[in-house]
Structure formats: C-alpha cells, structure tokens
Amino acid sequence: MIKIDSESIKILEFCPECISLKRVAIEQIKEQKEIETERELFYRILTNENIQEIQGKRDFIVANAASILVANNVFSPKGKDLIEQIKECIDKVNYLINSGESYSNFRRMIDNIKFKRDS
C-alpha cells in the first residue's frame, strides 16, 4: 500500500495476518470466469449469507474497502500507523456489512440507476 498526503509518502507491505485476517490460497480470491457467479458471490458477501466457504473472498473485499477508506481519510484517525488505521477500517466495513447497511445502500444505488434509466 502506498499512501500519499500533503506531509508524507508512506509505503507499506504487510500480510493478511498483520491486519487480523486469515491467509487463504489465491484460488479462493481470484476472479470467477462467469459474471453470474461473481454477482452471486458479491450478493452473498453484501447480505452476509452463507459466507463460510467464501470467507477469504469476503475478507479480500473488506480489506480493499478498508484500504480505500484509509486512502481517502474517511475513517483514518490521526496519530495511528497505517496498520492500525486499516484494522479500524476493517472493523467498520465488517460492521456495515453485518448490519445490512452496505446492502441497503447498494440496493438504493441500483434502484436509483434503474429509475434514471427508465425516466
């Protein structure tokens, strides 16, 4: 990860365990060949349904979402190192998924896009 702000440039290399995630084989997180399969997995992750066998893919999505939050200073408390910021953002992303808020927001966005197309 590289984070650039007005005061510094930070380069960070870390493993999944450093951010409290389980290491999985690359096959568990690679892109699916069929878009329908990818869509179903994404839906299951957002709705937190039957994720036991796809926990690695869920963690991958959560880690990427957390990284985006850190990069955009959305939930980046000052004074904490990047690893701590990512861990905190992982907790927030997990909360948003587990509470259903992520799915609700995603559904609202899709419905809005459909409405605009139909108008």
* pLDDT reported for residue 76: 61
Residue 77's pLDDT is 62
pTM of the model: 0.79
**Mean pLDDT confidence for 100-117:** 88
Q: Tell me the pLDDT tens digit for each residue of 56-69.
A: 999 999 999 998 98
Residue pLDDT, tens place only, 76-103: 666 788 889 899 999 999 999 999 999 9
What is the distance, to the nearest Å, from the Cα of residue 23 to the centroid of all Cα atoms in its chain? 16
Q: What is the 3-state secondary structure (H, E, C) of the chain?
A: CEEECCCCEEECCCCHHHHCCCCCCHHHHCCCCCHHHHHHHHHHHHHCCCCHHHHHHHHHHHHHHHHHHHHCCCCCCCCCCHHHHHHHHHHHHHHHHHCCHHHHHHHHHHHHHHHHHHC
- Residues 77, 59: Cα–Cα separation, whole Å: 22
Question: What are the sequence ranges of the domains in the chain?
Answer: 2-118
